[in-house]
Amino acid sequence: MSPKTNHAWHEIDKQYYLQTFRRFPLALEKGLGSRVWDVEGNEYIDMLAGIAVNSVGHCHPRLVKAIQNQAAKLIHISNFFVSTPQVELSKKLTEVSGMDRIFFANSGAESVEGAIKLARRYAHKHGRGGTIISCKGSFHGRTLATIATGKKRMQEGFDPIPSGFKQVPFNDLDAVKAAADQQTAAIILEPIQGEGGINVADPAFMKGLREFCDAENIVLIFDEVQCGMGRTGKMFAKEHFGVEPDIMTLAKALGGGVPIGAFLANEKTGSAIEFGDHGTTYGGNPLVCAASLAVVEIIEEENLLQEAAEKGEWLRSRMKEMDHPAVKEVRGKGLMIGVEFEFETKQLVMEMLDRGVLANATAGNVLRLVPPLNISYGDLEQVMTVLKESLKVMEEAHA
């Protein structure tokens, strides 16, 4: 007989699963829209959405139907053959993004790895080295190459770290120019840093970066794994800045919960690739592409870009109206929101969990909120109530 409690499932998980996640003590078994339920029947408002993945909500009927239909028809083939869902999705994403070429992967980190390979291929063909410059506070994945672009803490114990990577402060164009040389292949950044604490790029920095990359023939890569696919109120965060990258990476919300990633490129950069330079077994198989195509259509046809923009503005306004002395800053765009506090936010997240709201602490003292784009205003009102109650409980405990 299956266990009936969260605790029992949690203990079994600890017995078998590699202990690399500090999991919440919940075993979730179903979801619908912006709500999820655990094995004990407790209901939660999901303000984390699988870390910005379930953007069209849990078990959206149109997404479920697309997966069911495709699973009954054709799940997987080799990329030696053409898949009609893959062709349809390739066409759709290049059209909505304004990019020219696309390659499908299975995750965000894998998409970034592919982007790095393509950037280096282009650079070598034009007499440049292969060094990649990233920004402090960034997060591009957990493979060896992607941790080389990120925080030193994530590199500890994994030496030797791949060479050919440099870091500069976020939003510092002078630092980028000082770090770049003939060995520089590409500059990679998130237009809005996710794990780093929901830090929004400065428009002048973005425009200056594009001009510098053009002048030096350096590839500009935007990592939109977390901020892409409607999360910020635009289909892609790059649209907020009026700046086009040479390569853009996607994942997370791209599949609405099924594992799919992608990197897109303009023709100039994409033309550097040659037959056999890159490949994948599972990437872009019929099942995940059918799901992803449904996600894009839901975002467009249910007007979720406007929903994200308006609800995000509403929620940030309500956060600021609290005028809480411990709130240092409320930032973000659309429904990618970070609330920076004077204190570490892990306890706050647990207090909210006890009151039926799933959220996340990132960058130490930032409360990250990335709910489904179609979350109701009623649920957002309840989230605000829970947040206020949780802060009050913490204040009383430390009085």
Catalytic residues: 139, 223, 252
* Residue linked to tokens 């990233």: 134
d(CA 28, CA 26): 6
CA distances 235 to 63, 200, 220, 309, Å, are 18, 16, 19, 11
Pairing between β-strand 247-250 and β-strand 219-223 as defined by DSSP bridges = parallel
Dihedral (C-alpha) 92, 95, 96, 97: value to the nearest 10 degrees?
A: 120
CA distances 12 to 5, 6, 22, 29, 37, Å, are 11, 10, 14, 15, 19
CA atoms within 13 Å, Cβ hemisphere of 228: 26
* Residue linked to tokens 């425009």: 207
d(CA 268, CA 246): 8
Dihedral (C-alpha) 370, 373, 64, 21: value to the nearest 10 degrees?
A: 0
- In one-letter notation, the amino acid at residue 94 is T
From the list 219, 220, 241, 237, the residue with the least C-alpha distance to 228 is: 237
Burial-class residue 74 by CB neighbours within 10 Å (0-12, 13-18, 19+).
middle
From the list 376, 395, 373, the residue with the least C-alpha distance to 384 is: 376
d(CA 147, CA 68): 36
